[in-house]
Amino acid sequence: EDQVTQSPEALRLQEGESSSLNCSYTVSGLRGLFWYRQDPGKGPEFLFTLYSAGEEKEKERLKATLTKKESFLHITAPKPEDSATYLCAVQAGGYSTLTFGKGTMLLVSP
Amino acid sequence: ETGVTQTPRHLVMGMTNKKSLKCEQHLGHNAMYWYKQSAKKPLELMFVYNFKEQTENNSVPSRFSPECPNSSHLFLHLHTLQPEDSALYLCASSQRDRDNQPQHFGDGTRLSIL
């Protein structure tokens, strides 16, 4: 059974204090790893897809990396508007089905 | 309208009521999904439709009945729900025939069962 574990559950940062979120996965035949951002009262918003170990993608202050066992979402010099819950999901084996982690709730204080 | 639109945004119903949730996607996708999101739990996949055909039903109780009349519209019919069914119900769509394409989500319907 595919498993996705995100850590920490919650993270509080000061504005400008860089950090990383972790997504560990156990799947058979990874087809893709997805990062989403979810604001309160909203649906998840797509950020990145990573397909193979060693791949990296960047968007503004966010950088996602992938190894054979985990993915990191690095947040450089975060701002209060980066506060949200970040979700990780994997696609493996079955076509299109995603398995999600519980998410990391990030709060960035000014 | 763009993206994935869900209505209503909020719904309060009694356990004996019948109601429906609606989802519409304007992205030209051919696969649509229903998810349940509860506090402290991962998103749970409920149903998958590819080209209007249901391809997955993740052991969802029969009090939830999906309908997909075309590739742009998806409904979730609700009847005789239980208090534990209170949650955020999310609809998503993707392009099925392109490998590993991300799913795009609506903002959900917040459902409360009295």
For B87-109, what is each residue's pLDDT tens digit? 999 999 998 755 678 999 999 99
Contact A45, A59 (CB under 8 A): no
**B44 confidence band (pLDDT: 50, 70, 90):** very high
Instruction: Please check the confidence at residue B52 and state whether its pLDDT lies above 80.
Output: no
For B8-34, what is each residue's pLDDT tens digit? 999 999 888 899 999 999 999 999 999
> What's the rounded mean pLDDT across residues A83-102?
88
> What's the rounded mean pLDDT across residues A73-89?
98
What is the model's pLDDT at position B98?
54
Q: How far is A45 from chain B (nearest CA, A)?
A: 7
Nearest residue, CB atoms, A51 vs list B100, B106, B107? B100
Q: How far is A108 from chain B (nearest CA, A)?
A: 21
Interface probe for B, chosen from A49, A96, A97, A100 (most Cβ of B below 10 Å), is: A96
- Residues of chain A in contact with residue B108, where contact means CB-CB under 8 angstroms, are 42-43
Instruction: Please check the confidence at residue A96 and state whether its pLDDT lies above 80.
Output: no
What is the model's pLDDT at position B100?
75
According to DSSP, the residues that pair with B32 across neighbouring strands are: B49, B93
For A48-77, what is each residue's pLDDT tens digit? 999 999 999 999 999 999 999 999 999 999
Residues 6 or more apart whose Cβ sits within 8 Å of residue A94: none
Residues 6 or more apart whose Cβ sits within 8 Å of residue B87: B36, B37, B38, B111
Instruction: Please check the confidence at residue B78 and state whether its pLDDT lies above 80.
Output: yes
